[in-house]
Structure 1
Amino acid sequence: MIGASLPSPTVAVWHLGPVPIRAYALCIVVGIVLGVWIAERRWRARGGRDDFILDVAVWAVPLGVVGARLYHVLTSPEAYFGAGGDPVRALYVWEGGLGIWGAIAGGALGAWIACRRAGYRFLPLADAMAPGLLVAQACGRWGNWFNNELYGRATDLPWALEVHRWDEAAGRAVTDASGAPVVVGTFHPTFLYESLWCLLVAAVIVLLDRRVQLRHGQAFFLYVALYCLGRSVFEALRIDTANEIAGLRVNQWVAGIIFLAALAAFVRSRRVNAGRGEVLERVPSSELPAATTPGGDTATQTGGPTVTASADRPSPDRDERPDAKES
């Protein structure tokens, strides 16, 4: 059935002189570029500052990579700190091994820092970024295809993935005496399942956001919940080595717990947040010196952007404080 299977690359690293060009890294970079572009469009549509998403990326991307690697190393420590392990290889991000849960946590921390520095609330930003994050993940999964890794159980389905015996150090398939790549079998292409699922969830979020006007935080929490739902299924298909708890892979437990938490947060956001509204900048009251106008009203003066909000409809994107004054 190999003739009816999907092919896998035999090379995942090319050399430009002494510089290695790794397909895994290229897939991640393409995903980041597409994710930032989509987030920028959604952020501008909500009234956000045009260049703010790039500011977010400066914080979110490196912290996301660090978080992703930390999660992988902490949940698979034997390869680095066990018998025969090499701790230095924990730094070899280009060889694969990035945990999505750590990436989301680290990236969210970076985005939160950027929001605090610029004076934006976090949830509207997270909503704007959710579909782009899913597209970025969909692109990143193709790095696993290039590396011939993280495939599922053996199968002879027409869309089965042909997998080669792989030399991780060289970044290419092992060859036999005749120079032909060694094929170990055909397996479920879990990378493809997850990539398509991410694109489907992104489309669902965009459609719902247009049809039913999701409240603050709901697009982001829906992204997390639906991704976890699909990931738990794909994780069950995978046969790569992983630590288990009570017969389930650690990632399945993590997916289940985060799914329940995201689902609860999605429901709560519907009750707590009044509506989507436009994105406005928040200026801390401590930075707004008060000034008395000729009419006796109190006004604020600041060198930054002016923020206004209707008295009968406070913006849900501002921090409401009893002592805050608006110009």
Structure 2
Amino acid sequence: MLAFPQIDPVALALGPLKIHWYGLMYLVGIGGAWLLLSRRLKTFDPSWTKEQLSDLIFWSSMGVILGGRLGYVLFYDLAAYMHEPLLVLKVWQGGMSFHGGFIGVMLANLWFGKRNGKSFFQLMDFIAPVVPLGLAAGRIGNFINAELWGRATDLPWAMVFPTDPAQLARHPSQLYQFALEGVALFAILWLYTRKPRPTMAVSGMFALWYGIFRFVVEFVRVPDAQLGYLAGGWLTMGQVLCVPMILAGIALIVWAYRRAPAAQGAAQ
């Protein structure tokens, strides 16, 4: 069994102002995305300026934060937030939904694309390869907060989390998600986009592989206490939300490659 590293969730305290590692992880993800997208900007659209890229990052980030928070409220704990609405503001305590954030990003890109002459899937294909950076940073934030841990296990890398009332050795599922949704997904998408791909294909690859990775890890992750297991006692809400992502990813990839010859012929 490995010892859980005792890291104070508060990175810096300046009087009443407390800066949490969880919030800093969002800044790490956003900053990393901006740097990598800057490198890809000329291949995306040489006419675009760094200011336009910054605007895209800003609105996508707003989609992540607002969508992630509202998604958690709607998908995971609506009753608690209706009882105490001010809980919505306490983002440093966690409570963000990837699927809600994903919907928020899609809406932000749909709006931004219409204002800047880009289609929805052009923008989604552009930003998809860097999204795993934010996912990886977020999972490290979850680990520091000692939240979203996994089921009890006797594996040698199991950990006892200080927030676990039962004090059982558990799967460090946050690190599994860091490795799969962050590192592995980034590698897949970054290598895949080294060559030109049909529009929608990159978005499809993101949806497909994120959905698969998240679905698999959910088997060893403890579901939110207020929901428990669904669908006969073995599926979690995360898995239920991943199924349409996997199906949509497959559909987008097939559609992208089927329409690619027609699109190339029209461009000639």
| Structure 2 counterpart of 1:222, from 174, 180, 205 | 205
Describe how 1:110-149 pairs up with structure 2 within 5 A.
110-149=108-147
Aligned-partner SS, 1:108: helix
Partner residue of 2:150? 152
The alpha-carbon distance between structure 1 residues 164 and 44, as it changes in their structure 2 partners (threshold 3 A), is same
Cα drift, residue 259 of structure 1? 0.8
Partner of 1:66: 66
Q: SS of 1:215's equivalent?
A: coil
Structure 2: 5+ residue stretches without partners: none
Partner-residue secondary structure (3-state), 1:245: coil
User: Which residues of 2 match residues 234-313 of structure 1 at below 5 A?
Assistant: 234-239=217-222, 240-243=224-227, 244-246=229-231, 247=233, 248-274=235-261
Cα displacement (A) at 1:50: 3.3
Partner of 1:8: 5
Corresponding position of 2:42:
44
Offset at residue 87 of structure 1 (A): 2.4
Measure the CA separation in 1 of the matches of 2:166 and 2:19: 24
Give CA deviations for 1:247-275 in whole Å, capped at 9, x if unaligned. Answer: 32122111012211221111111112349
Corresponding residue for residue 97 of structure 1: 95
Change (3 A) 1:37 1:275: farther
Offset at residue 241 of structure 1 (A): 1.6
Q: CA distance change for structure 1 residues 276 and 25 in 2, over 3 Å: closer, same or farther?
A: farther
Q: 2:216 pairs with 233, 241, 251, which one?
A: 233
1:242–1:250: 8 Å Cα contact kept in structure 2?
no
CA distance in 2 between partners of 1:46 and 1:120 (Å): 11
Query: Match for 1:205 among 180, 189, 193?
Result: 189
Name the CA distance, whole Å, in 2 between partners of 1:20 and 1:129. 31
Q: 1:275, 1:8 → 2: CA distance?
A: 55
Cα pair 1:71 1:101 within 8 Å, conserved: yes
Instruction: After superposition, give the CA deviation of every residue in 1:193-219 in whole Å (9 maximum; x if it has no partner).
Output: 1111122122112222225x3211111
For the residue of structure 1 that corresponds to 2:13, the secondary structure is strand
TM-score (normalised: structure 1): 0.73
Q: Distance in 2 between matches of 1:145 and 1:162?
A: 12
Distance apart, 1:276 and its partner CA: 9.5
Measured in 2, the distance between the counterparts of 1:274 and 1:95 equals: 49
| Structure 1: stretches of 5+ with no match in the other structure | 167-181, 278-311, 316-327
- In 1, the alpha carbon distance for the partners of 2:156 and 2:230 equals 33
1:297 is aligned to none
Q: Residue 281 of structure 1 corresponds to which residue in structure 2?
A: none
Whether contact under 8 Å (1:221, 1:262) holds in the other structure is yes
Give the SS at the match of 2:147. Answer: coil
Distance 1:274 1:106 in 2: 32
Provide the rounded CA distance (Å) in 1 between the counterparts of 2:252 and 2:78: 32
TM-align CA RMSD: 2.3
1:324 corresponds in structure 2 to none
* Residue correspondences, number: 259
Q: 3-state DSSP class of the match of 2:167? A: strand
Larger-Rg structure: 1
- Higher strand share goes to which structure? 1
CA distance in 2, matches of 1:142, 1:101: 18
Q: Which amino acid aligns with 1:43?
A: L
The letter for the 2-side match of 1:223 is F
Q: Which has the higher helix share?
A: 2
Looking at structure 2, the residues matched to 141 and 89 of structure 1 have their Cα atoms a distance apart, in angstroms, of 21
Question: Structure 1 residues 276 and 183, CA, compared in 2 at 3 Å: closer, same or farther?
Answer: farther
Distance 1:93 1:274, change over 3 A: farther
Moved more, 186-195 or 72-81: 72-81
SS of alignment partner, residue 213 of structure 2: helix
Q: Deviations over 1:213-249 (max 9, x none)?
A: 3211111110111001010111221114252431321
Residue identity over aligned pairs, in percent, reads 30
Q: Determine the C-alpha separation between the residues in 2 that align with 1:156 and 1:50.
A: 53
Deviations 1:27-76 (A, max 9, x none): 11111111222223223223341322211122221122111111101122
Query: C-alpha distance in 1, partners of 2:116/2:73?
Result: 33
SS in 1 for 2:32: helix
One-letter amino acid matched to 1:158: P
